[in-house]
A = this chain, B = another copy of it.
Amino acid sequence: MLIRPALPADAADIWSIIGPTIRAGETYALDRDMSREDAIAYWLSPDGETFVAEEDGVVLGTYYLRPNQPGGGRHVANCGYMTNTAEMGRGVARRMCQHSLDHAEARGYRAMQFNFVVSTNARAVRLWAALGFDVVGRLPDAFDHPQHGYVDALVMFRSLGADG
Using a CB–CB distance below 8 Å, which chain A residues touch chain B?
25, 28-32, 34, 68-76, 110-111, 113, 115-116, 118, 136-146, 150, 153, 155, 157, 159
State how many copies of this chain the complex holds: 2
Chain A contact surface mostly: strand
| Chain B residues within 8 Å of A113, by CB | 139, 142
How many Å from the CB of A144 to the closest CB on chain B?
4
| Chain B residues within 8 Å of A142, by CB | 68-69, 73, 76, 111, 113, 157
* Inter-chain contact B116/A73, CB cutoff 8 Å: yes
| Chain B residues within 8 Å of A144, by CB | 72-75
* Inter-chain contact B70/A29, CB cutoff 8 Å: yes
Query: Would you give 18 A-B contacts (Cβ < 8 Å), ordered by A?
Result: A29-B72, A31-B70, A72-B118, A72-B145, A73-B116, A73-B142, A73-B153, A110-B150, A111-B140, A111-B141, A111-B142, A113-B139, A113-B142, A136-B138, A136-B140, A137-B138, A139-B155, A142-B157
